[in-house]
Homo-oligomer: A and B are copies of this chain.
Amino acid sequence: MPIDRRHPREIRADIRGGKISGHTSGMGEGYVQANLAVLPKEQAYDFLLFCQRNPRPCPLIEVTDVGSPEPVGVAPGADLRTDIPRYRIYKDGVLADEVTDVTPYWRDDLVAFLLGCSFTFEWALLEAGIDLWHVKHGKNVAMWPTSIECRPAGAFYGPMVVSMRPVPAGQLSKAVTASARFPNAHGAPVHIGDPKAIGIEDITQPKWGDAQHFDPGTVPVFWACGVTPQAVALKSKPPFMITHSPGSMFITDLPNSSLAAL
């Protein structure tokens, strides 16, 4: 897919106007993309606390004011009801609808959470000279739930989900330091090496995404994954929840470099 180098504001206008309704991979190159979770105020405290207690899988980069769809901190003027290509509507934890505009579903008691995503640290890995097999071959990463339990908060609990990328042994240190600079995009790996140590029985059979190819001398490296908060939130079956559709992210005005901790 050709890379869309326009400013996120222009890309979001096309999304809002219905000209873009698919994945956002390769769009707004260099800008932070974010996962979306929208919950009623009644569940918002527990979810906010869950994110605070589990910053690796749930790196919060923005929380809107109650009822407001504008993420003023990361994209002033944007509208979270229309500026994401595709949304999912969940009722009592069950997928009820998939739409390109959630304006009809919006309510005065909704709070939108935006969470950092792996695109930012993958960009950092590529910049550091680490080849990513799935990027080169146009595949998705491989994902599993693990035996690592998140710290619960109120109604929300569940296992941490991880994504896995093979990294050459000689580049492991670089993979750690390059991603560690971006704690708001999952940060450093949560595990390196033996999949069984974190409850993954078969490295060739991901639960979600695509199986990865291991070149000789590469090691599986596991990062906390942005699927965790959605999986955990849905497990508690909130009466109403809106998320982005997988791969259709919100493109913020923040350059990736602005998330660097150091």
**CB pairs A–B below 8 angstroms (17 shown):** A45-B48, A48-B49, A49-B63, A51-B52, A52-B60, A52-B63, A53-B63, A53-B73, A65-B154, A66-B154, A177-B262, A180-B261, A180-B262, A181-B262, A261-B261, A261-B262, A262-B262
- A183 adjacent to chain B (CB < 8 Å): yes
Instruction: Give the CA-CA distance A49 to B112 in the complex, in Å.
Output: 12
- A151 adjacent to chain B (CB < 8 Å): yes
Count, chain A residues at interface, CB 8 A: 22
B151 & A73 in contact (Cβ 8 Å cutoff): yes
Instruction: Give the CA-CA distance A73 to B45 in the complex, in Å.
Output: 18
- A44 adjacent to chain B (CB < 8 Å): yes
Instruction: Give the CA-CA distance A244 to B45 in the complex, in Å.
Output: 24
A48 & B53 in contact (Cβ 8 Å cutoff): no
Q: Nearest residue in B to A152 (C-beta to C-beta)?
A: B65
Would you give the shortest CB distance from A187 to chain B, in whole angstroms?
8
Contact code string A103-119 (vs B, CB < 8 Å = 1, else 0): 00000000000000000
Would you give the shortest CB distance from A45 to chain B, in whole angstroms?
4
List A58-100 residues whose CB lies under 8 Å from chain B.
60, 63, 65-66, 73
